[in-house]
Structure 1
């Protein structure tokens, strides 16, 4: 089993039993996404796919801000040369990589919890929309701000639409509207609204304890079933779900869970 690096340039990792806390660590630029940060996040995501010992991943930003989107200074300096005839525009290829990254983050077998405060803008907004659970503070600022600076929210828009629906996404993307935590929860971007950082920490621990009660493989398979809804024909989804049920039922988690229920005790995974 490959372990994580002891230190990263733009991330802080903290292991807590079966939880991994991943903190974006560029507070001087409100944790804006640059190639180094995205590269390190991709590496961590790749390792997490093989880590059945980790049940939950907490995504957060250092310095009281979740993520203010892409580092525009880096964007301004990149790709000044036009594409060569017959070749794909390198801007398009680079942009597409972020969609691949969001897809990988959203499909992790672990439960991804976003702890959101400060700002979640543009690419940072996309991070929230691929999380399984989002806890947001009342004063956190949200926006799909891309169109206000003349670019397209190309890679986040499909994930936002999957989260809150096409009509709401059209409104947010075509106005670059800014809004706070209560509105984010109302339209389905966030799940829990809290007053401040202290309340965020308390709610995060409450949610993580709820996740502790669930079996890791059962959660991973359940997530796969849910994510197929709306993207595959219903009979195909139900067939896949039945196979997942059989896989879980024949596995050690179901045996332990049923035994624990009969013995009126918590299953092992809830106490590890």
Structure 2
């Protein structure tokens, strides 16, 4: 993994990349530097063969949204190549959301304290979102005269059109239990010990799946969101056949018949 992160703490343990947003004095507000480092951390996790990537925040908060200082600086900067600097900064965050949404790695978000704006968006792109009971979710953009531009598609995908609209126009302040009822998070846990236990259980379940099969499943599910099931039959059959013939497929079937864990479970 590359050294020298300024806004993140990164550590690989048991094949899992743990990434902590580390600007606690600003409730982990997301600067442009943090966006770039999150992209670099994801690339490092993918290249290292990590089994999953875990996102969390330092100091009792996940992320309070975009860094307003960066936004103000971009607003006053001259444009280059005909592109507004504010649009360029915003688009960079969009590429971050897209990268985490489309990675073949399982992404787990561990949420506590403030989960706002861009942090709300990261929660939506995670495959699994676990919240502590103290987590509070907000979409403050319209109250600042702004638009939740890059996270809008992921809000709709995670929450559905009706609930995404409601939260966006009302500033969307909800607690962890309400987030669970909406399907924004997949579990709410009382205290740090219970939250860590839930994370360990999720990572244990992820390790039971073959890495290539998980990545292929995520790709197929992304396509299935916008494609009629009938139009996917042949493509899905081809994906299944490739999996059966793969080294993972052979190992998985052999392990099942021999009643032993597959090699990817044992590490």
Indicate the TM-score class for this superposition, using the shorter chain for normalisation. over 0.9
After superposition, residues 74-93 of structure 1 pair within 5 angstroms as 74-80=70-76, 87-93=82-88
Give the alignment's Cα RMSD to 1 decimal. Answer: 1.7
Give CA deviations for 1:174-233 in whole Å, capped at 9, x if unaligned: 010211111111101100111122211111001111111111111010011111123234
Shift in alpha-carbon separation, 1:240–1:94, aligned structure 2, 3 A = farther
Shift in alpha-carbon separation, 1:55–1:236, aligned structure 2, 3 A = farther
- TM-score for both structures, normalised by structure 2: 0.94
The aligned residue for residue 163 of structure 2 is 168
The aligned residue for residue 8 of structure 2 is 11
The aligned residue for residue 258 of structure 1 is 253
After superposition, residues 211-226 of structure 1 pair within 5 angstroms as 211-226=206-221
Which protein is richer in helix relative to its size? 2
Consecutive unaligned residues of structure 2, counting only runs of 5 or more, are: none
The aligned residue for residue 232 of structure 1 is 227
Q: Distance in 1 between matches of 2:172 and 2:13?
A: 37
2:179 pairs, out of 162, 179, 184, with 184
1:54 pairs, out of 46, 50, 57, with 50
Q: Are the counterparts in 2 of residues 117 and 197 from structure 1 also a CA contact under 8 Å?
A: no
The aligned residue for residue 65 of structure 1 is 61
2:203 pairs, out of 198, 202, 208, with 208
Q: How many residues align?
A: 267
Please state how far the C-alpha of 1:6 moved relative to its aligned partner: 3.1
Consecutive unaligned residues of structure 1, counting only runs of 5 or more, are: none
Please state how far the C-alpha of 1:28 moved relative to its aligned partner: 0.9
Please state how far the C-alpha of 1:83 moved relative to its aligned partner: 5.4
Q: Are the counterparts in 2 of residues 48 and 108 from structure 1 also a CA contact under 8 Å?
A: no
Shift in alpha-carbon separation, 1:236–1:104, aligned structure 2, 3 A = farther
Q: Are the counterparts in 2 of residues 225 and 240 from structure 1 also a CA contact under 8 Å?
A: no
Q: Are the counterparts in 2 of residues 118 and 139 from structure 1 also a CA contact under 8 Å?
A: yes
